[in-house]
Structure 1
Amino acid sequence: MSNFIDQWGETLWQGVIQTFQMTSISLIIAIIIGIPLGVAVVLTRPGQLLSNRFFYQLLNLLINIVRSIPFIILLFFIIPFTKFIVGTSIGVQGIIVPLVLYTAPYIARLMETALLEVDHGVIEAYKAMGMKKGQIIWHVLLREARPSIILGLTLATVSLIGATAMAGLVGGGGLGDIAYRYGFQQYETSLMYVVVILLIILVQILQTIGNKWAAHLKRD
């Protein structure tokens, strides 16, 4: 064990840090894009507060197109675009763009599902009381959907961690890169097992935090 730690400890620690960097940066940007996109899809649906069939169908089509592309294909397909945006397609910096494009539409769909779970009768009641649409969106729709939103974001984060593992195929860094470059290509089986265990632990921690947070919000 001590020999393994001496040989791979620093590499694994760097991989954990890179995985956190990729996940956190991509998640923040994807949330900034995905949540407003999901809210817009819900509000422009027929019969909703800002009903607009054209924009609803346009947004719906855009989300479906991006979500229909598997991440591993998207990763290679947008390499020229990634280089144009950040100047490189490798390393932590180069993987952010595909991770955001992969995650933002996913978050938008999760947001849509969470918001549609809110009782429409509650919204109608507040409309009848004269509350403005902006207030209904912020104080009623988003507030009532908070537990489902947190669970959705937790699911998106777990999915994002899985996507970062695939980043190793293009030298994206992180635990996936270590598992592929050393564990697979150099036949370091024990290292691959450790990477898998670390990913499982990471996912379990995040899922537990998300579940407890959502349960807390549901009681409020």
Structure 2
Amino acid sequence: MDFAAFFDKYGALLAQGTVDTALMVLASTLGAYIIGVILGTLLTVLAPGGLRPNRVAYAVIGWIVNMARSLPFIILLLFLIPVTRAVVGTTLGVPAAVFPLIVSAAPFVARMVESSEAEVDRGLVEAASSMGASTWEIITKVYLREGLPSLLRGLPIVIITILGYTAMAGTVGAGGLGDIAIRYGYQRYQDDVMVATVIILIVMVQVIQTVCNLLVKLCDKRMRS
């Protein structure tokens, strides 16, 4: 293979696809964590034995989260096309992919947040409550702060999962590396382009995992100090 000729022909395309994929992953991860932290914390607070137990609200939120998690992403992506068009104004490109990615990943994050907060020492919660801390203070200063290392350990799983979803989103014209792999590697039988997209995705996964591992180490050191 003439690598110079290949990069001269497809370099700009692959670079744009990498940028589009990175934007989809970053925007979707941010949105999924914002919604997921809210839902997961609500599940913790409203659960039986929680700070503000409410069986009905807990059951409703839990049902919504479980229902969203049960749908394969490609089905959810197609199901949300009318909603995506109404929210974003289009069903093509990076902006259109971000909305269903958030909807798909947020429930997963919510359960991860609930699990992380469940690992927080109950004694710390009771001590904060006995000292007159409000529910908001317990959530922010106990649950989220003490659960942060666990949340960071789950971060690469969420990001890499979303990265895989972006490839599936390429089947409906979402853009990014998945779209390139399908249009060039699959539909036009250009194996070299397919291999290039796979290599880029592998590199992205390794970078994500390495950065997240460093964040966990830094967080653990600060929590122990």
Give the counterpart of 1:130 among 105, 129, 132. Answer: 132
Instruction: Give the Cα–Cα distance (whole angstroms) in 2 for the partners of residues 122 and 213 of structure 1.
Output: 24
Distance 2:173 2:25 in 1: 16
- 1:27-38 equivalences in 2 (<5 Å): 27-38=29-40
Q: Match of 1:94?
A: 96
Structure 1 runs not aligned, ≥5 long = none
Work out the number of aligned pairs and report it: 220
Per the alignment, residue 103 of structure 1 pairs with: 105
Q: Which residue matches 1:145?
A: 147
Q: Deviations over 1:8-35 (max 9, x none)?
A: 1010001001101111122222222111
> Within 2, Cα distance between the matches of 1:209 and 1:20?
14
Q: Please show how residues 1-220 of structure 1 align to structure 2 within 5 Å.
A: 1-220=3-222
Unaligned runs of 5+ in 2: none
Shift of 1:219: 2.0
Q: Please tell me the residue identity of whatever aligns with 2:185.
A: G
* Root-mean-square deviation over aligned CA pairs: 1.1
Q: Which moved more, 1:112-121 or 1:126-135?
A: 126-135
Runs of 4+ in 1 over 3 A off after TM superposition: none
Pick which of 24-33 and 111-120 moved more: 24-33
Distance in 2 between the 1:209 and 1:171 partners? 30
- The amino acid across from 1:98 in the alignment is P
Shift of 1:94: 1.4
Measure the CA separation in 1 of the matches of 2:16 and 2:210: 24
Counterpart contact for 1:22–1:164, Cα < 8 Å:
yes
Q: Deviations over 1:24-68 (max 9, x none)?
A: 122222222111111101111000111111111010000000110
* Secondary structure of 2:111's aligned partner: helix
Give 1:168's aligned amino acid. G
* Contact map agreement 1:111 1:152 (CA 8 A) in 2: no
Could you tell me the TM-score, scaled by structure 2's length? 0.94
Q: Structure 2: how far apart are the matches of 1:16 and 1:214?
A: 26
Hey, what's the Cα distance between the residues in 1 that align with 2:219 and 2:7? 41
CA distance in structure 2 between the aligned counterparts of 1:67 and 1:41, rounded to whole angstroms: 15
- TM-superposed deviation, 1:128: 2.3
Q: Is the 8 A contact 1:83 1:94 kept in 2?
A: yes
Percent identity (aligned)? 43
The one-letter amino acid of 1:69's match is: L
